Structure 1
Amino acid sequence: MLDYKLLEALATVVECGGFERAGAELGLSQSAVSQRIKALEVRLGQPALIRHPHLEPTPAGRRLLTHYQQVQLMERELRTALPTLDAASSRLRIAINADSLATWWAEAIGAFCRDEGLLLDLVIEDQDVGLRRLRDGDVAACLCAGDQPIAGARCEPLGSMVYHPYATPAYIARHFPEGLTEDAFRRAPAIVYGPHDQLQHRFLAQCGYHGAFPYHLCPSSEGFVRLAAAGMGYGMMPRRQVADLVADGRLVSLAPGRALTVPLHWHYWRHSGALLERMTSVLRRVRLT
C-alpha cells in the first residue's frame, strides 16, 4: 500500500515548484519534505522527480500524481456520503486558458463551487497546450482547444470563443494607412499572449502574410487589453472581453469580417468521482458561441 503522506509531498513539491515552498505549504521543514520524497522513491524503486536542470516528475511520478488526484476526488465523495468523516473543503486543480478565466468561467462555475464547498487551484495555460498538464498528472481537469481525449480521460465539447483583431483607431491610421499590406504587417507591432500563442500567426496567415513581425509579449488577458487600448499594438481578443471598448469606439477591428474561432473542450479523468461529473454537467450548460 502507498503512504499518501508521501504522495502528498510529491504533489506539493510539483505544484509549488520546489522543496522549500512545499515545506511551507505542508508545515514541514525542507529536509522533512526531501525525506518523504526519498522514502517514496525507495518504495517505488525508481525516481519520482527529476531535480536537474528543472524540477519535474518522472513518468512514474506523473502516474503517481494522477492517482493521487483521483484518490483525492474519491475521498471527497466519501466525506459527502459519511458526514462523520472530516468535512473540510476540497481543492481541485484545473488548467484553464486565461481568456476563459477573464470572461465566462467565474459566472458559469461560481455557484457550483460555493454550493459544493469546493476550492479551485487554477493553472493558467494557453488553450493550445493545457492538455499537457492533464497528461502529466499535474491537474485533475483541463479546459483547452484540443479535442482528442487522452487515455483514461473524457472529453466534452463546450463550444467556442471567437477572436477579432482589435486595435485603436489611431493605431490603425498610423500603421495601416493603406490597409492590410505586407509591409504594414512586417512593421506594425502586435500583441502576443505568450510563446505558445498562435492566434496572431493564424490571423496573419489568414490574411496571406507568413513572415516575421514585431510583437509585445503580454501573459495577462487584462494587460493584453490594456496594451491594445493604449495604442501599443493590435491583437486577437474575444469580443465579449472588450465589448465596452468596442461599443464606445476605443477599439475597432483591424479587419472587419475576419475572425478566428477557437473551440474549447473540457477534459477530465474518467474515474475521478461524482464531483467532476457534476461540474461537467454544469459546464455542459455553458453557451460560448
Structure 2
Amino acid sequence: MLDYKLLDALAAVVEQGGFERGARALGLTQSAVSQRVKLLEARLGQPVLLRGSPPGPTAVGRRLLNHVQQVRLLEHDLGTQVPSLGETGAHRLRVALNADSLATWWAEAVAPFCEAGRVLLELVIEDQDVGLKRMRAGDVAGCVCAEPTPVAGAASVALGAMRYLGVASPAFVARHFEGGVTAERLYHAPAVIFGSDDRLQHRFAARLGVADGFVHHTVPSSEGFVRMLESGLGWGLVPALQIRQALERGALVEICPGEAVDVPLYWHYWRQGGVLIDELTARLTHGASRHLV
C-alpha cells in the first residue's frame, strides 16, 4: 500500500519548487520532508526526485505525481458525498495555462465554477507551446496548451483558437515600416517576445521570409507586453481579444493587415479526475466557445 504522507511530501517539493518551500506548505520542517522523500525512495528501491534546482521528478516520480493529482480530485468528490469525512472546505486546484488566456477569456469562463464548487485556483503560467510538461510531470490537475495529444492517463478537448495580430504603435510603424513591411525591415525592427518559449513572432516573421535572429525585447508579462508596444518600443503578436480597444482608439495598428496567426488551444485533464474536473471541463468548453475562434 502507498503511504500518502510520503506522496504528499514528494508532491509538495515538486509543486513548490524545493524542499524548503515544500516543507513550509506542509507545515513541516525541511528535514522531515527530506526524510519522507528518502523513505519513499527506499521503499520503492529507486529515486523519485532529481536533486536539481528546482528538483524534478524521475520517470517513476512522475507516475506517482500523476496518481496524487487524481486521488486529490476523487477525494474531493467523496468528501462532498460523505460529509463526515471532513472534506467540506474549499478545494485547491492547480492548473497550468498560458498568460494570454489568463489575460483574456479564462477568468470569465471559470468564475461560476469556482463560486459554485468553492474552488481555489493555483495557476501556473506556462507558454501555450510547453504547458503540457506540467501535466507530464504530474504537478497540475489540468492545463491549457497548444498540444492536442494528451499524456498517458489524461484526455484533451479542443477549446478553439486564439487569434493573434501583429501590431505596433503608429509612431513605430512610421519609423520602421514606412512604405510597408518587408523582410529586411522586419528583421531589423525590434520585436517584443514573451520569453524563450514564445515562438509566435518567429512564426509570423517566417511567413514574410525572415529567419531567426531578429532583434527583440523579452517581456514576460501580458500587460507589460502591450504597454511596450503602445510605447513604440517594438512590434509583436497579441491576442485580438486583448487589444480590441487599443486598435479602436488608434494606440496600436496592424503592421500587416489580414496576416493573423491562429493558435489552437486544448484543455488537458485527468480521465479519473471525478466530478470536479468534469464540471470544470464543461465550463471551460462553454466559456471558451464565446471568445475563441
TM-score bracket for the superposition, by shorter chain length: over 0.9
- CA drift at 1:54: 4.7
Partner of 1:110: 111
Q: How does 1:73-152 map to 2 (within 5 A)?
A: 73-86=73-86, 87-152=88-153
Partner of 1:155: 156
Q: Give TM-score scaled by structure 1 length.
A: 0.97
Task: Measure the CA separation in 2 of the matches of 1:123 and 1:211.
Answer: 28
RMSD, aligned α-carbons: 1.1
Secondary structure of 1:28 counterpart? coil
Which runs of no fewer than 5 residues in structure 1 stay unpaired?
none
Task: Measure the CA separation in 2 of the matches of 1:52 and 1:160.
Answer: 36
Letter in 1 for 2:282: S
Letter in 1 for 2:84: T
Task: Measure the CA separation in 1 of the matches of 2:54 and 2:108.
Answer: 36
Letter in 2 for 1:75: E
- Render the CA deviation track for 1:111-141: whole Å, top value 9, x for unaligned: 1111101111111011111111111212111
- CA drift at 1:183: 2.3
Task: Measure the CA separation in 1 of the matches of 2:103 and 2:224.
Answer: 11
- Render the CA deviation track for 1:192-240: whole Å, top value 9, x for unaligned: 1111111101101112222421001111111111111111111000111
Secondary structure of 1:88 counterpart? coil
- CA drift at 1:178: 2.8
Task: Measure the CA separation in 2 of the matches of 1:240 and 1:247.
Answer: 12
* Residue 229 of structure 2 corresponds to residue 207 of structure 1: no
With over 3 angstroms needed to count, the CA separation of the structure-2 counterparts of 1:113 and 1:213, relative to structure 1, is same
Q: How does 1:31-46 map to 2 (within 5 A)?
A: 31-46=31-46
- Please, which moves more after superposition, 82-91 or 267-276? 82-91
Letter in 1 for 2:25: E
Task: Measure the CA separation in 2 of the matches of 1:274 and 1:213.
Answer: 48
The ranges of structure 1 where at least 4 consecutive aligned residues each deviate by more than 4 angstroms after the TM superposition are none
Letter in 1 for 2:236: G
Task: Measure the CA separation in 1 of the matches of 2:17 and 2:149.
Answer: 28
- CA drift at 1:150: 2.3
Secondary structure of 1:21 counterpart? helix
Do the aligned residues in 1 keep the contact of 2:17 with 2:54 (CA within 8 Å)? no
Count matched residues: 289
Partner of 1:66: 66
Secondary structure of 2:127 counterpart? coil
- Please, which moves more after superposition, 52-61 or 184-193? 52-61
Task: Measure the CA separation in 2 of the matches of 1:150 and 1:25.
Answer: 27
Task: Measure the CA separation in 1 of the matches of 2:76 and 2:53.
Answer: 36
- Render the CA deviation track for 1:262-286: whole Å, top value 9, x for unaligned: 1111111111111111111111212
Task: Measure the CA separation in 2 of the matches of 1:162 and 1:10.
Answer: 38
Q: How does 1:210-225 map to 2 (within 5 A)?
A: 210-225=211-226
Letter in 2 for 1:223: G
Q: Give TM-score scaled by structure 2 length.
A: 0.96
